[in-house]
Every structure is written in C-alpha cells, then in structure tokens.
Structure 1
Amino acid sequence: MASDKGYGYSLVKYFFFGFNVVVWLLGTSLVCLGVWLLVTKGPHPVITPSHSYLSAVAICIAVGILILLAGFLGYCGALLENQCMLASYFVLVILLFVLEITAASLSLVYKHEIKDTARVELLYSLHLTHSQVNDNPSTVVLSQAWNEMQTELQCCGVQNYSDWHVVMPESQKVPVSCCRLPNCEPKIRPLYYERGCLEEIEYWFVSHMYVLGVVAVTLGVVQILAVAAAILLFCSIKNNKFDV
C-alpha cells in the first residue's frame, strides 16, 4: 500500500514538474516575442494610438510574465514540495482563467461598442499618419503599420478608400499599399482596393472563429488539468507530512 502511494505521488509530482517546464518555456517565448517586436517594430506597433497599452508588445510581455510567474511557482512548488507555492500557483491560474472568461464574455456582449471604438481609433490613427511631422519616429511606425495591414488584408482606409481623401484632401490620393497592382497610380480609383480595413479585420476574426475557439477550449482544458494536478499534489504533500 505504501509503495503504491509513493509511486502515485511521484508520478503526479514529476508530471506536474514537467508540465510547468513547458509552461515556463511558453512564457519565455512570449516575453522574447514581445521584446523582439519592441526592438524591430518600435514601442507602439499598433494602429490604435489611444490604447497603446493593448499593443502586441504590451500584451505579449504582460501575458508572458504572468505565465512565467505561474510556471515558476508550479515548478518550484513541485520541486521543493512547498504548499505555499502550490497554493499561489492555484490562485494565479484560477485568476487567469476568470480573466479569460470575463474578457470573452465582455467581447460578446459589447461587440458593437467594440467595433465602434475600433472605427474611431483607426480613423484617429489614420489622421496621425499625416498630421504629425513626417520624420517623427511614431509617425513612421504608424505609417508602416498601415501599409503592412493594407497590403496584407488587401484593403484601403478604415471604412473605404475615401478616408484617405479626408486625410490628404490636397491630393485626393491613397497610399501605394492600397493598389491592386505594383506601381499603380494612386489616383486611379479602379486600381486600388475599395473595401475598408475594419471590414476585413472583422471578416478575418469571423473566418478564424473555429481556430480561435479550438485554441480557447484547449487552453481552458489545460488550465483545468493544471489546477487539478496542483490540488492533487498539494493534498499528497499534506498527507505525506501527516503520515511522517
């Protein structure tokens, strides 16, 4: 009986230990990705200037640090058989799970408000690309982000190409990234994309909803298993201490 108990305890311990090594590597990867984006794309690689804290850099680094902290607590808690660390790990994972559920629920309930806010922010960033000094680093980064997005999504402006006419009324042109063909004339309307980028972004999320759902469900299952393993290991350590 004692040997079976010891074998089961060791199995749970080392499984949990190995699982949190993977979690640690995931957190490290996200932090490295955020740092890479910061170095290569600048501090604000986003097209929503009023919400720069929601940039890819900020999200990657913040989530990466939280995952690193959770992995560290789980790793050390399993290795040192420390109940306090395991309890902290349990609380942190539950907190992350609740935040994910809350964010998903709010995005569904307030999807129309989110779309309206996104339209206002995109229009604001569009004006910033030409309202600031041309050699301003933030303006250069913003213009590059717009060019990359329009080329990748094959769109032009926020709602349509006319948004650029408001930004550049003196020329009534659109950026070259709006062109359907290489080196096209930005003044010839049939040669550039007429659909707005906001519509294309919404379409991208809808078309990838299945993939996003699978990722969300997988992440939720992994978190539930991690919490269950933490509870089991916590109880096993407690029982072993009482047995001794």
Structure 2
Amino acid sequence: MAGEETQALHISEPRDRSKKHGPCGCDTYHCYKYILLAYAILFLIVGIICLVAGIWGSIIKQNYHSVNDFLSSPATLAIIIGVVVIITAILGIVGVIKEHVTLVKIFLGIIIIVLIIQVIVGILAFVYREEIANSELTTNQLHFAIEKYEKRDEVTKAVDSLQQKVGKSAKNQLKFALDKYAYDDSVTYAVNQIQVKLKCCGIDNYGDWDKNEALGCKGNGTCSVPDSCCKEIVEDCGKNVRQNYRSSADAGLRSTIYVNGCKTQFRNWVETHLDIVGAIVLGFALPQVLGILITWLYKVKLEDRQFLYKYRPELFT
C-alpha cells in the first residue's frame, strides 16, 4: 500500500507541477520557456546590430582603402560576430518554439563559448591596451600617407583623419601616411580625417611633413602642412606655414596649426577606448550568465517533460 501511494504521488507530480504558477502567472516550465524565448530574441537583435555596424564600418572604410589594414579589422570582426550571433539566436528561437532539445543544447553551448571568449577579450583589452596602442602597424601606414599627401586626395583625407588618433602603435601607419599623402587619394583622405579628429599634425610633430615631397621645404615642396593641421580649417590655411614660422615655439604657428603629433594622441585614444570596450564587454557578462542559467533550467525541464511524455503519456491527457 505504501509503495502504491508513493507511486501514485510520483505519477501525479508532473500534473501537480503544471498547475503551479510562477511570478509570471504561468507554470515553471512555460515561465522558463517564455523568458528564454525573449532572451534569444534579444540575442538576435544584438547580432543584427553588430552585423549592421560591421557593414556600415566596411562601407566607411572604403574611403581609407590605402590604410585599411588597421581600420578594416574591427568592421570585419563585427560582421563575423554579427553572423555568428544571429545564427546562434535563430537556433535558440527555433529550439524553444519547437521544443527541440538538441537545438537548445547547441544554443547553450555556443553562448557559453561566447561568454568565455567575451571575458577573455575584456581582460586582454585591459591588460594589453598599452601594447596594442604601441604597435608599429599604424605608424608605418601614416608615414606612407604623409609621403603621398597632396598627390592623391584620398591619402590627404586619410592622413588628416589618421593624425588625430595616432600613437607609437600607430607609428608605422603614420609613416605610411606621410609618404603617400597627396599621392594616394585614400591615404590623403584618411590622414586628413585623423588629423581633424585627433587635433594633431604629423607623427611626432608637425615637422614630420617635411618628409612629404609635395609639402617639404626642399625641391619643389611648398614648405607647408595639410589644411587638416589647422585649428580653423580654411582653404590653403596650411600653405607655407613652415616657411613663415620656423620655430614650434612661435605663437603665430601655435595659433594657426596643431604642432603636436598624432602618435601620442592615437595611443591615448586607443587606451581610452579599449578601457571602454573592456568595461562594456565585461558588463555584458552578467546578463549572459543569467541567460546561460535560464537556458540550462529550460533544457532540464524540457528533457524531463519529453521523458515523461514518452513513458507516462497519460500524465499529459
């Protein structure tokens, strides 16, 4: 009799549990299901945002194609992340709606991997931000741009843009930009944009522009700096500046152009933004942990439900 009573209580347990309501007014299983579905949809939205941002970045970087080795990586990474997140979210949504255990398990596994990678990236962004900011890639590119400045409009624009955000890590990019500025349109455009954004001129200082054939003080050079070095940009504001003002201490020069180089500015910019990126990445860890917990709880409930449906179908009638 005791065994029969225990068995009866065990058999009726799922039915009794299905009548229990959680805080959302539904039974535990369906509460987990709805919460997980909302989480997967949010995951999908995040993926779409990453994909759109990556595509937008890829389109924008076309203006910097001569120096895009440094600039294109974030856009490409955003696209890859966006695609992976979207696919993962779709697996989760389908798995929840169809109550497909395998898809839910795949979704759980992927978001765990994403969390691990995310935490690693966040930690590395904090630990290695100075090393990243001091890499040689950007500087070489900028020296190339300076040489081509005024020879190709793109390079000129690129240099102006590059010089506003550059440090030792960017020094290679800057050398590349200095060389190609005015010779390569994409580099010119990128340099101009950088110098305007970072409020800087040259790599170490404005004198770096003497290395550019068109702007140097030797030969047929105009002894100038790009207009993007000017504090108030007007046409030809940088023309003959280095000829008119020979010393960086000259008040007239300092009131006309930015005399400091982009290397330090870029390093500071990278360090600041890597701190922000690291904080954001780690900040997203908590909701992801909660998402993993909800997914695991739903998986357990779903497996239990399917097991009972297979071996105790009478409980669901």
| Aligned mates of 2:105, 2:64 — CA distance in 1 | 36
The alignment status of 1:192 with 2:257, answered yes or no, reads: yes
Query: Structure 1 stretches of 5 or more lacking a match?
Result: none
How has the CA–CA distance of structure 1 residues 196 and 73 changed in structure 2, closer, same or farther, with 3 Å as cutoff? farther
Deviation of 1:186 (Å)? 4.3
Q: Tell me what 1:163 maps to.
A: 208
| Aligned mates of 2:66, 2:76 — CA distance in 1 | 10
Q: Tell me what 1:219 maps to.
A: 284
Query: Structure 2 stretches of 5 or more lacking a match?
Result: 1-15, 159-183, 242-252, 310-317
Deviation of 1:198 (Å)? 3.2
| Aligned mates of 2:276, 2:139 — CA distance in 1 | 29
How has the CA–CA distance of structure 1 residues 145 and 4 changed in structure 2, closer, same or farther, with 3 Å as cutoff? farther
The alignment status of 1:235 with 2:300, answered yes or no, reads: yes
| Aligned mates of 1:241, 1:21 — CA distance in 2 | 24
| Aligned mates of 1:162, 1:238 — CA distance in 2 | 70
The alignment status of 1:58 with 2:81, answered yes or no, reads: no
Q: Tell me what 1:149 maps to.
A: 194
Deviation of 1:136 (Å)? 7.7
Q: Tell me what 1:103 maps to.
A: 121
Aligned length: 240
RMSD of equivalent CA atoms: 3.0
Identity of aligned residues (%): 20
Deviation of 1:179 (Å)? 0.7
How has the CA–CA distance of structure 1 residues 24 and 85 changed in structure 2, closer, same or farther, with 3 Å as cutoff? same
Q: Which residue of 41, 49, 62 corresponds with 1:42?
A: 62
Deviation of 1:111 (Å)? 3.9
Q: Is the 8 A contact 1:186 1:192 kept in 2?
A: no
Q: Tell me what 2:137 maps to.
A: 121
How has the CA–CA distance of structure 1 residues 239 and 70 changed in structure 2, closer, same or farther, with 3 Å as cutoff? same
TM-score w.r.t. the length of structure 1 is 0.82
Q: Tell me what 1:27 maps to.
A: 47
| Aligned mates of 2:122, 2:44 — CA distance in 1 | 25
Q: Tell me what 1:175 maps to.
A: 226
Q: Tell me what 1:202 maps to.
A: 267
User: 189-198 vs 58-67, which deviates more?
Assistant: 189-198
Q: Which amino acid aligns with 2:89?
A: G
Q: Is the 8 A contact 1:73 1:89 kept in 2?
A: yes
How has the CA–CA distance of structure 1 residues 214 and 136 changed in structure 2, closer, same or farther, with 3 Å as cutoff? closer
| Aligned mates of 1:111, 1:200 — CA distance in 2 | 14
How has the CA–CA distance of structure 1 residues 114 and 209 changed in structure 2, closer, same or farther, with 3 Å as cutoff? closer
Deviation of 1:234 (Å)? 0.7
Q: Tell me what 1:87 maps to.
A: 105
TM-score w.r.t. the length of structure 2 is 0.65
Q: Which amino acid aligns with 1:180?
A: K
Q: Which amino acid aligns with 2:29?
A: Y
Q: Is the 8 A contact 1:48 1:125 kept in 2?
A: no
Deviation of 1:207 (Å)? 5.1
Q: Tell me what 1:9 maps to.
A: 29
How has the CA–CA distance of structure 1 residues 30 and 109 changed in structure 2, closer, same or farther, with 3 Å as cutoff? closer
How has the CA–CA distance of structure 1 residues 69 and 108 changed in structure 2, closer, same or farther, with 3 Å as cutoff? same
Q: Is the 8 A contact 2:122 2:277 kept in 1?
A: no
- Name the structure, 1 or 2, with higher relative contact order (CA <8 Å, separation 6+): 1
| Aligned mates of 1:46, 1:235 — CA distance in 2 | 53
Q: Tell me what 1:68 maps to.
A: 86
In structure 2, the residue corresponding to 1:157 is in which secondary structure? coil
Deviation of 1:159 (Å)? 3.0
| Aligned mates of 1:42, 1:209 — CA distance in 2 | 24
In structure 2, the residue corresponding to 1:4 is in which secondary structure? coil
How has the CA–CA distance of structure 1 residues 52 and 193 changed in structure 2, closer, same or farther, with 3 Å as cutoff? closer
| Aligned mates of 1:142, 1:106 — CA distance in 2 | 30
What are the superposed Cα offsets for residues 185-229 of structure 1, whole Å, 9 maximum, x if unpaired?
Answer: 344342211233332233345556775455233311121111111
What are the superposed Cα offsets for residues 7-35 of structure 1, whole Å, 9 maximum, x if unpaired?
Answer: 11111111111121122122112212222
Q: Which amino acid aligns with 2:238?
A: E
